[in-house]
Structure 1
Amino acid sequence: MKTPRQDLNFTEEEINMLFGSMAAEDEKIDRLKEYYFKGTTHDKITANLPLRILVGHKGVGKSAIFKIARSEDEKRGVLPILIRPDDIAELGKDTSDVLQTIRNWKNGLLVIIALKTLESIGIKEETSIIKKSLKNTGGIISFITQTLSPLSDKIDLKPTQKQIISAFLTNSKIDIYIDDLDRGWQNRKEDIHRISALLNAVRDLSNENEGLYFKIALRSDVYYLVRTSDESTDKIENNVIWHKWTNHEILAMLIKRIETFYGRNFDEKKALSQEQRHIATFLDNVFEKNFTLYGRWENVPMYRVLMSMVRKRPRDLVMLCTLAARNANDHNMKKIGTLNLKSIFEEYSQGRIQDTINEFQSELKEIQRLLFSMKPTKKEYDEGRGYTFTTSELKSKLSNIISQGSVK
């Protein structure tokens, strides 16, 4: 049990411990386990099936699911392998011949899996030797089994190395996690064909090699482009798991981070069964209760302000809270208040607009013009309207924008 904390100072270390890192891969595993919010997506991804494809918008926590899943693999005696973009940077670059690209992916992935498995127990092997051995031993599982079996009785191995060997020889199973594939994504035809070939390759490998279980994370716009450009992807559609959040889950997730920061237990299932206004009292140690400035949010509960700003994405919430907490630190405040949030709204909002443009420009080329054309006119601003719309007002606004140039 942690020592209970008193007043907050909102130092950088404290902010990080309180709200978490922007990216799960940067978070310490012990802290991530404390505040991790395990929803139904987690169980679907970790199901004992050979291929799982996790799809979701940027910032919804795909990497967090993978990091926790790998930790659970290690605990229950399954060998997890993480493959990052730099590991596969040279694979499938030539997309002129689809079948050859798929074959290159399959051969390259087998070598990487073998190399990473051996590296996990401290064995460095030449790629050329791995390639030759894979051909001569009848498959990757056989190759790894034959390589690790003689090592199981060695006394100079570390306990972790012995554990890895024992786990594999017992289960003959490897969970392969491929994450961050959108890193460097440029929406070129060759990028789309490359990812498409990868998905076909892992489907083949999981069918051909009993014991290989692939879990791949894809950003929603990347998956959409691949899905609509390759007719063969209908064969993997039943393996796709979409990761989404409700505002209620986002609020409960924030509360769990705060409560575990203070060293207290938090029942997330119970919280999800209660109304937001009831569980929002858990925020009172960190936030002012109500938003106190005039306008549409005048005297509105603080949780409603937070939830309206985060697009149902945990990373947005972490960014919003982090910026506000830094502003509170600048003014020596012990709670995040209305003025702290107001001070960072412009910076936060500009960042989210740019995120939206970056994420969806491949699907809607005119998205930047569309977004900036939605801002109020001078007349609308002077009359205090323009940020919220009735259905008829929204249709009128969009019609005016489209009349100045098509949006497709």
Structure 2
Amino acid sequence: MSKETTVAQRKISPFDEEKIQRLFGHEAAEDEDPQRLQEYYFKPSTYDQVVTELPLRIVVGHKGIGKSALFQVALAENREMNLLAISVKPDDVLDIATESNDFLKSVRNWKVGIREIIEREASRRLDVDISSTSGSDLLLMRLAKELGAQGCVDELGAEFLRSPQIIVYIDDLDRGWQGSTKDVRRISALLSAVRDLSNEDRGIKFRISLRSDVYFLVRTSDESTDKVEGSVVWNSWTNNEIFALLVKRIETFYGRDVDYDDLSSRSSASLAHYLDPVFEPRFQGRGHWRNAPIYRVMMSLVRKRPRDLVKLCTLAARSANRTKHNLILTGDLEASFEEYSQGRVQDAINEYNSELRDIERLLFGMRPSKKEASAKAGYVYPTESLIRKIKNIQEQGKFYFASGREASPQELAAFMYKINFITARKESGGLIHRKYFEEQRYLQSKFADFGYDWEVHPAYRWALQPSDVRSVFDSLELSADD
């Protein structure tokens, strides 16, 4: 779409691929146009916990929850402030600490490798050569000495001399993660190494992102990681924040300014009218969702991950493009549900198969039985019924964690809760209140029953029951916070 295209033309144009991406954003932040990302990015409440003055922040969250986007925006803001910020990619550390079985040696190798990367990138960006300076001095001191000796420096150099610091972003380390003992040891050694480096040279600050499954295996396999637990930030979103994110993307697409504080303080209901240029206002389908505001239907399908909303909107927009609709209608959303659901199940399998062997059999085993289907049940379970359901699945074969330990029914329930396949659910005053693992991490325990029922998340249901779409709609209910 050319820059000369008017707002009116954009509004009635088909939902071609260019418009869809400009409107809803790319699902992978690293593939997004950096200027567009900064334009539409909505900062979650956890953003400020990451961009503090603290030396080490480990950002943990599910795949698709926005860790890379947060790092991209924070890195750009650092550079706009003339702070020396460095991005370390997986290729940069590909060969560091890959062979040694000695943990202390792996830590040392990481320290040497990371320090070399920082020195090389910092020297390049400051345009100084410190190769001949004393290696006994700390890196920041060597950089400052050489930079000061030059006399004339640019804005980046001037800010570095005023406040010597380097902010190092290490993202996407879980690429190729298999959950092996070797993988766990390597990440554990990295965390120990960056902790040591930030303590030795106080001006070097590290920001590291890890998937929640990666962090969980590392944290439970290495007792030394308790020393970095206080540096962990669980990256999470409320449904209201995710919806405000969508509103900001739509408004900035049409060239309108939006106030972050205003979006943050308003309810989803009060923001719903911003969707009118793109979506029809109410869902015209069947079941409990009939005549509900269309934003509540969409938010019911999002696992509190921004990427889910991008994927759902993208699929629905493609359907609207095929049917030549100027708005995304109920039929376009319905046409996208099965593909969206299949994709979310595959996401869960890909993301967590390194933690639980045979995860696919467990998840598809949660489809309603013939008896449950005839009783219009099968997605909502009291604790006792959920454990019984899992025991029935186990009759087809035991399940084992990556460590080789057999999983009990209670542990499998806790696992499905942790990966957001099931959510905690309580009905009160005619409203459904749902809890996610990020909000209440220890709600599901094999030792206690907290009074919640358990529910297979709506995002997965079409994939579990593709031959009976009507019953899927009949089983869906809107939650109090959608």
In structure 2, what is the equivalent of residue 46 of structure 1?
51
**2:30 and 2:243 mapped to 1: Cα distance?**
22
TM-score in terms of structure 2 length: 0.76
Q: 1:8 to 1:379 in 2, by over 3 A?
A: farther
**Which segment is superposed worse, 5-14 or 68-77?**
5-14
In structure 2, what is the equivalent of residue 221 of structure 1?
213
**1:135 and 1:341 mapped to 2: Cα distance?**
63
In structure 2, what is the equivalent of residue 332 of structure 1?
324
**1:178 and 1:375 mapped to 2: Cα distance?**
39
Structure with more relative contact order (C-alpha pairs < 8 Å, separation 6 or more):
1
- SS state of the match for residue 52, structure 1? strand
Aligned: 1:102 with 2:75: no
**Which segment is superposed worse, 360-369 or 72-81?**
360-369
Aligned: 1:148 with 2:153: no
In structure 2, what is the equivalent of residue 22 of structure 1?
27
Cα displacement string for residues 211-270 of structure 1 (whole angstroms, at most 9, x for unaligned residues):
111111111111111111111111111111111111121111111111121222334444
**1:164 and 1:251 mapped to 2: Cα distance?**
37
- SS state of the match for residue 78, structure 2? helix
In structure 2, what is the equivalent of residue 157 of structure 1?
none
The letter of the residue matching 1:266 is V
CA contact (8 A) 1:291 1:299 kept: yes
CA contact (8 A) 2:134 2:142 kept: no
- SS state of the match for residue 276, structure 2? helix
**1:257 and 1:232 mapped to 2: Cα distance?**
42
- SS state of the match for residue 290, structure 1? coil
Equivalent residue runs for 1:321-360 within 5 Å: 321-360=313-352
Aligned: 1:183 with 2:182: no
TM-score in terms of structure 1 length: 0.89
**1:385 and 1:224 mapped to 2: Cα distance?**
33
Equivalent residue runs for 1:8-407 within 5 Å: 8-120=13-125, 130=131, 133=132, 136=135, 138-151=137-150, 153=152, 162-378=154-370, 380-381=372-373, 384-389=376-381, 394-407=386-399
Aligned residues: 395
- SS state of the match for residue 216, structure 1? strand
Displacement, 1:389? 4.7
**2:392 and 2:133 mapped to 1: Cα distance?**
62
Displacement, 1:344? 1.9
Identity of aligned residues (%): 50
**Which segment is superposed worse, 71-80 or 187-196?**
71-80
Q: 1:334 to 1:383 in 2, by over 3 A?
A: farther
**Which segment is superposed worse, 83-92 or 282-291?**
282-291
More helix by share: 1
**1:31 and 1:122 mapped to 2: Cα distance?**
29
**Which segment is superposed worse, 368-377 or 188-197?**
368-377
Displacement, 1:145? 2.5
Displacement, 1:36? 1.4
Cα displacement string for residues 288-309 of structure 1 (whole angstroms, at most 9, x for unaligned residues):
1222222343222211221121
CA contact (8 A) 2:15 2:321 kept: yes
**1:87 and 1:134 mapped to 2: Cα distance?**
24
**1:272 and 1:369 mapped to 2: Cα distance?**
41
- SS state of the match for residue 317, structure 1? helix
**Which segment is superposed worse, 249-258 or 397-406?**
397-406
Q: 1:266 to 1:112 in 2, by over 3 A?
A: same
Cα displacement string for residues 323-347 of structure 1 (whole angstroms, at most 9, x for unaligned residues):
1111111111111111112222222
The letter of the residue matching 1:249 is E
CA contact (8 A) 1:8 1:335 kept: no
In structure 1, what is the equivalent of residue 429 of structure 2?
none
**2:127 and 2:349 mapped to 1: Cα distance?**
44
- SS state of the match for residue 40, structure 1? coil
**Which segment is superposed worse, 79-88 or 254-263?**
254-263
Q: 1:324 to 1:84 in 2, by over 3 A?
A: same
- SS state of the match for residue 103, structure 1? helix
Displacement, 1:171? 1.8
The letter of the residue matching 2:237 is W
**2:95 and 2:103 mapped to 1: Cα distance?**
16
The letter of the residue matching 2:99 is D
CA contact (8 A) 2:58 2:208 kept: yes
- SS state of the match for residue 187, structure 1? coil
- SS state of the match for residue 242, structure 2? helix
